[in-house]
Amino acid sequence: MENLHYKLVVGWEKLPADLKHLDCVGAGVDAKDRVYLITRSDARVIVYEQDGTFVTAWGEGVFTPRTHCIRFGPDGAVYTVDDGNHTVRKFTPDGKQLMMLGTPGVATDTGYVKEKGISSITRGGPPFNRPTGIACAPNGDLYVSDGYGNARIHRFSTDGTLIQSWGEPGTGPGQFNLPHDIWVAPDERVFVADRENDRIQIFSLTGEFLEQWTHVQRPTGLCIRDGLIYVSELWWIPGSTSLRRGKIEKDEPGRVTVMDMSGKVLARFGHEGERTAPGNFIAPHGICADSRGDIYVSEVTHTFGASRGHIPVGCHTFQKFARV
């Protein structure tokens, strides 16, 4: 396959004047190519047509300000992950709740102390302690990355029964330092964005380690569709520490990488030039693609950038790129 090329779609999102999103943490596409965003701070789900026309919004008062991921199941159900209250929820496309995993406000014991971050995690624990992502396997099983306060992957049956868990804190095979997103490919490989270890780990459906890819940077989001793997990759600020690579000496801007199923890079963009410019990235957090191969990228612009003084308030938090 030849290299792929993408172009920013300027002004795609027709966000109503009475809505806003300081952070857009995730995006998903349904079978009709409608785009569902999940936002933070003003936490809700916002739905658009493929051309960016606003359809509806729902979920106000349901989520905490720490929403994290949105995904579609093969039956069209919408799954959300909320690390603020340790829950995963299943909804109809119009926002009726069908199922909840986890107990709101109750975290399992992994040794995690919020003020000390992931370095305080001493052991993998049961679901959940600040979960981050969810994926649906071809057979309907659900896989959840349990990330900020844990170091595990949990596998559930369709009805929410826990089948198994795997993972411990660390840098070895099958160990994690912030498993930040997860996706199950059609070939039944389980891909995990092991964010602070700067790698993607790949497993069987039952958790056997297969291999790791280390040619990615701080992967935050995954999407696999039509033989392509889409990865959003977070900004490394000089002086930070990758738990696999060590101290970061130079600025490594956020970016998007598109690969084939063997891991060959077919496109990489958004990291050259001023990061606040349209088409570049500040803090890519989630990614998805539609039936045309167009890419939607959500960013935690406020949490990661503006609130820390790295960039001005009001920069882009969501962008669409058309495949050309």
What does the pLDDT look like over 273-318, one tens digit per residue?
A: 999 999 999 999 999 999 999 999 999 999 999 999 899 998 999 9
Do the Cβ atoms of 296 and 320 come closer than 8 Å? yes
ω into residue 63 within 30 of 0, thus cis? no
In this prediction, residues 178-200 reach a mean pLDDT of: 98
Report in angstroms the alpha-carbon separations of 155 from 142, 163, 288: 6, 5, 22
What tokens appear for 9 in the block? 């779609």
What does the pLDDT look like over 237-250, one tens digit per residue?
A: 999 999 999 999 99
Report in angstroms the alpha-carbon separations of 110 from 130, 166, 264: 11, 13, 36
In this prediction, residues 253-282 reach a mean pLDDT of: 97
What does the pLDDT look like over 78-122, one tens digit per residue?
A: 999 999 999 999 999 999 999 999 999 999 999 999 999 999 999
User: How far is Cα 197 from Cα 280, in angstroms, rounded to an integer?
Assistant: 24
Strand partners, 289: 295
User: How far is Cα 239 from Cα 217, in angstroms, rounded to an integer?
Assistant: 15
The distance from CA 71 to its chain's CA centroid, rounded to whole angstroms, is 9
What DSSP designation does 302 have? I
User: How far is Cα 147 from Cα 175, in angstroms, rounded to an integer?
Assistant: 12
What does the pLDDT look like over 129-141, one tens digit per residue?
A: 999 999 999 999 9
pTM of the shown model: 0.97
Task: Give the angle subtended at the CA of 27 by the CAs of 49 and 89, to the nearest 5°.
Answer: 110
Domains of the chain plus CATH, in order, are 6-323 (2.120.10.30)
Residue 50: phi, psi to the nearest 5?
A: -60, -25
